[in-house]
């Protein structure tokens, strides 16, 4: 999910980017190595950049994923961007609550 800041006064449309939505791995509650494998697989498919994104308590796990990919699989990995944002989620009772998100861009 793109995070538009208020500074984009004249931004009529999204900027073209080399990273498509499919290139983003969403980190949740699954085993951490399944996300690591997903990232490594994307790089092995030929992508030069992959993103991991997480919300709330899973943010620490997204950082774990990037560290494990770098330390064990792709030593040349560079973390080129961190994008943090506040998102509004609807709770089960219908109320809105705010949650932080973090998207880490990795390039090799």
Residue 100 interacts with a copy of itself (CB under 8 A): yes or no: yes
Residue 77 interacts with a copy of itself (CB under 8 A): yes or no: no
Q: In what order do the strands lie in the sheet with 49-55?
A: 24-26, 49-55, 96-107, 78-90
The residue (of 34 and 71) whose beta carbon lies closer to a copy of itself is: 71
Residue 67 interacts with a copy of itself (CB under 8 A): yes or no: yes
Candidate segments 21-29, 37-45, 52-60, 89-97, binder of a copy of itself by CB under 8 A: 52-60
- Candidate residues 23, 63, 74, 108; the one interacting with a copy of itself per rule CB under 8 A: 63
Task: Write out the residues near a copy of itself by the rule CB under 8 A.
Answer: 54, 56-60, 63-64, 66-67, 71, 79, 82, 84-86, 98, 100-102, 104
């Amino acid at each position: 999910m793109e995070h538009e800041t208020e500074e984009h006064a004249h931004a009529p449309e999204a900027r073209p980017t080399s990273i498509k939505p499919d290139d983003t791995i969403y980190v949740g509650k699954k085993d951490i190595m399944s996300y690591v494998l997903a990232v490594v697989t994307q790089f092995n498919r030929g992508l030069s950049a992959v993103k991991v994104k997480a919300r709330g308590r899973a943010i620490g796990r997204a950082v774990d994923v990037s560290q494990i990919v770098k330390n064990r699989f792709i030593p040349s990995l560079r973390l080129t961007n961190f994008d943090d944002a506040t998102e509004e989620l609807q709770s089960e009772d219908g109320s809105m609550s705010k949650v932080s998100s973090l998207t880490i861009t990795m390039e090799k």
